[in-house]
Chains A and B, each alone.
Chain A
Amino acid sequence: MAILSVENLHFSYTTGQDILKGITLQFDRRPTAIIGQNGAGKTTFAKLLKGLLKPLHGDVYVKGVNTKETTAAQLARQIGLVFQNPHDQIFKSKVIDEVMFGPLNLKQEKETARANAIEALHMVGMENKLDKNPYDLGLSEQKLICIASVLAMQPEIVIFDEPTIAQDYPARERIKEIIQHLRQKGKLVLTITHDMDFAAAVFERTIVFAQGRVLLDGTTREVFAERELLKHAHVEPPHVTQLGQKLGCRETFLTAEEWIRYKRRKS
């Protein structure tokens, strides 16, 4: 059984304007990127998976449980969502309280919750900021705190909404490490992103949304090889992929390292 599955999902905020128009997807444990144009409905999709929104038609199953038959709070044990904008997520005035909020809601003992929170803060490298006010920290640090507050609940599925937006280079690298770490622990990592270099470098599977439907779904390499279809979805493959394509190579390159290896082999 798929850990997360979506069947014929339809959704609209206002009647008559469908944002999602019949999406069917099964997720296994492969790290997966969801890409698509601005306004394609990616954030909406994440909120539907998380149970924050309920389908208009169709169903979402989280580990076999239909999201219509439970509450977002109940699902929090299974599935965590790191919001795109830290301001939409942070509401406590101390880092440690923010990160302990989830574990406490899961009815963990205070000491256990604190231990889990500190472990999560370690994972994101913020363990020395426990008593700081999140509002006084920079955007990168706020993002890492948001990630920690989700990881502290130890969900099996973690969704990141645009994790690299407005992040500096070290934070980006840190986020990559966190995702690799989660994958090693056997968790499903789903990431919504605009950042094609990031998608190409980190994820095995890539899904492309366009006009409320799934346009492409496959291994990241297969997906980025589809130049014409991607153009249709207004998505630009990573520059190194385009370079390879424009030079007429038959292989599809996802990272600079792959390109360099190819070049060495040729010469």
Chain B
Amino acid sequence: MKTVKSMSLYVPGNSIIHRLEPITKLIYVMVAGVLPFILPANPTAVLCLAVTLAMLTISKTLTKVIPLTGFTLLVLLSILFIQGLFHEHNQTFLFRFGPFVFFKEGLSYAARISLRVINLLLGISLLSLTTKPSDLIDSLVRRGLSPKIGYVLSSVLQIIPQMAASVNAITDAQRARGLETEGPLIVRAKAFLPLIGPVIMSSLIQARERAMALEVRGFNANRRKTFLRAANQSSRQTTIRILLILILFAAIVWRIFA
């Protein structure tokens, strides 16, 4: 049996955050991501960030965030740098760093963008690190998403690791029969070409087998589907959701009338 590497970022665990319904977390991410655009940006983003960071800590996934967000942080740092130096409304001198002169307007503009982006990014990380993709899709289907769309979503999540597995199998078969695939880049590039056809072929075969397996199990039957897992619909979850949506609603009202 082959162990297929999972593409999801999910870190198994049993914290309160893990046990929250996926939809509750999804609503939180959306509300927390949108709030800084409605309310005064910086304080709101900092507040949301603090809540997200607290939840990441509780779910023991804080360290997993760094590799996920590292690249974006780098980009944001360069935005800070460039805007701090060259923003068009730069007037107020802030400080000098070697040959570079930083201005307040540019830096605060960049900080505002960065905070919002980091806030959104950490929210999404929280959701992906503490939720199994299949559970999320399952919950969405429960809430009325068409099972067919749910199936397509989960297929997309599965197809990449599946392709990676068949790339491995076929590479082994080719190496076993004398095709050089190890060594310098040029050798590996040459070995890549004969891979493409077979990998697509085997993916198609797998897709056909899966379609047949679904068909015989009545996937296309015109009946309401039932669920294998029981829904975790505690009143607490509902309260959290209502609260989150109320906050969002209040923010919008404030924005319109204030």
> Which residues on A are within 8 Å of B, measured CB to CB?
13, 47, 50, 52, 71-74, 76-77, 80-81, 83, 87-93, 101-102, 105-106, 135, 149-150, 153
Contact = CB atoms under 8 A, between A and B. Distances in A.
A105 B172 contact: no
Contacts of B180: 71, 73-74
B191 to A, nearest CB: 9
B25 to A, nearest CB: 29
21 contacts: A71-B183, A72-B172, A72-B176, A72-B182, A73-B175, A73-B181, A81-B176, A83-B176, A87-B202, A88-B169, A88-B172, A90-B173, A91-B170, A91-B174, A91-B198, A91-B202, A93-B197, A101-B177, A102-B177, A105-B179, A135-B205
Contacts, number: 68
Contacts of B172: 47, 52, 72, 83, 88
Interface residues of B, number: 21
A88 to B, nearest CB: 4
A150 B177 contact: yes
A96 B66 CA distance: 51
Nearest to A146: B173
A13 B5 CA distance: 13
Nearest to A13: B3
Given A52-B172, A88-B169, A91-B173, A76 B178 contact: yes
B201 interface: yes
The 8 closest A-B pairs by CB, nearest first: A105-B178, A91-B198, A76-B178, A102-B177, A72-B175, A73-B180, A88-B169, A89-B173
A13 B170 CA distance: 19
B178 A102 contact: yes
Contacts of B201: 91, 93, 135
A88 B144 CA distance: 40
A91 B180 CA distance: 16
A107 to B, nearest CB: 9
Contacts of A72: 172, 175-176, 182
A153 B177 contact: yes
Given A88-B173, A106-B178, 9 more contacts: A71-B182, A72-B176, A72-B182, A80-B176, A83-B176, A91-B174, A91-B202, A102-B177, A105-B178
Interface string B63-92: 000000000000000000000000000000
Nearest to B177: A102
